[in-house]
Amino acid sequence: MSYCQLNFVFLSFCWKNGQLEYLGANQRFLDYFGLKLKDILGQLGCPHPNNDHDDLQKIMDQEKQLLKDGVALNDYLTLSVKDNHRTFHYYLSPIYDDNTICGLLGLIMDVTSQMD
């Protein structure tokens, strides 16, 4: 699947290497957080401008744990994005090379309208 095709998927997603550096993201992910791909490639941490938010630290801790134990997870997070409170349902899943975890895939859905 090409990068262009990934932009037509109705999910937002990103992928990271084993050091939790961003390797890529689709356009929907970038749009949610008001980012450009060049701004996140190789970066650690969460892309949200308010990256000191406790819930964002929770996600970073979950990502580290996922790399250790390989257990996928799903959770919810409410953030202020572009001056709007948005609720996201996110999934984190390990990526394997043979039997070794080499990164993760994050899927994110904006579920704000379903939570109202």
- For 68, the token pair is 């250790």
Which pTM was predicted?
Answer: 0.81
Paired with 103 in beta bridges are: 17, 95
What does the pLDDT profile of the chain (116 residues) look like in tens digits? 444 444 555 788 999 999 999 999 999 888 877 889 998 999 887 666 555 566 678 888 999 999 999 999 999 888 776 677 778 889 999 999 999 999 999 998 888 877 66
